[in-house]
Each structure stands twice: as C-alpha cells, then as structure tokens.
Amino acid sequence: MKWNAAVVAGMAMLAVTALLFLGGCTSTSTRSDLHVVSVNGGSTYYSDLINQADTAHIFIPVDQITVKFSDVTHDGSAPVEPGTGFDEIVVNHYHVHYNNGIYSDVDGGMNVIVPSGGETDAAITISNPSEKGALLGTITSTVTSTATIVFTGYVRTTGEAGDHVSATAYLTVQVDNFGDSDVNQ
C-alpha cells in the first residue's frame, strides 16, 4: 500500500481524537471529581520523635496534618445548591504509604462532606506514635521520606452512595528528634 498525504492526515486525525477520549479523570464518577487542594498547607511536615520541653510531661507527638479537599464538577457547570444532597462528595477513607518505609502504612476512616463546587478542610493522622518510640536512638540524622496519601469516597446522590471517587496527594516528611520546639507551627 502506498502512503499518500490524505491517508497520513487521516491517521493523524484519528490519533488526536483517540487521545482526547483517553485522557481525563481517575474517578468513576460521571458528575464530580475529588481534588486535594493542599496537604499540610503545602509545607514539609516535621515528624518529631519525642517532645521533652517539659521534663515533667515528656510525650511522643501525634503526627496530624490538615488536608483541603474540593469537589469539581466534570463539565464546569454551576455547582448544585448546598444542602440538596446531589453531587456532594463523601470522603470516607485514606491510606498513607512512605516510600522508604520509615513508618508503616496507615489506614484511617473519615466522614468528610465536600459540597458541590466547594472546599472542605479535614485532619488526618499520618503515622503510628508507637513506631516513633522505637526509632529513638536508631536515627542518627534526619530521614526524609515522601508520603503518598490516597483518599477515597463517593459522590452522594439523593442521600445514597453514588460513583466512586479518589484523589492522591504527596507530602514530604522529615523524621528526627528536632529539639523540643513545635517545628510545624
């Protein structure tokens, strides 16, 4: 078969059309997508192993961060009115994984409602405090890790569970005994 300009142009047009249909969202929702706007305000998180500022009250700090979610409609249309129950996203689970295994994976439940076209803040725990105690004395310098955090939930339609949604975020975490100041404030 001899290739001519018309055949090559037709194949190029077909390839571009296929790319347009293959790109898009990662959720199975036909209405809205869950987006993570920010994790820990966009800053590195400093996981302090122990707080000895008050020698009468030594404790292992809990690693808790804030997450800002948004509910983005697929077609860019106006959001549904608040309180109607249509197109709200319910975030009900999260999973944290550290790329270098400094901490074990963490799974947690949530019950966070993100209104259609809106944003909502939530807090999650990103490590197990009992593992921090085991790291004391074994870390000789600051360990840097990337935490991959996957949030899952569903689009609530008329008060029921609808389409599945998910969003992934990444957080740089530094682990060490940082003295006894609150390094995350």
CATH of the domain at 119: 2.60.40.1940
pTM, two decimal places: 0.78
The helix/strand/coil state of 22 is helix
Question: What would the two tokens of residue 164 be?
Answer: 């599945």
Domains: count for the chain: 1
Tell me the residue range of the domain where 164 lies.
Answer: 28-176
Strand runs (DSSP E) across 1-114, as ranges? 32-39, 45-48, 64-73, 88-98, 106-114
- Does residue 12 belong to any structural domain of this protein? no
% of the chain at pLDDT higher than 90: 51
Higher pLDDT, residue 57 or 127: 127
> Between residues 26 and 83, which one has the greater pLDDT?
83
pLDDT in tens, 109-125: 999 999 988 999 999 99
Compute the average pLDDT of residues 12-22: 33
pLDDT band at 180, cuts 50/70/90?
low
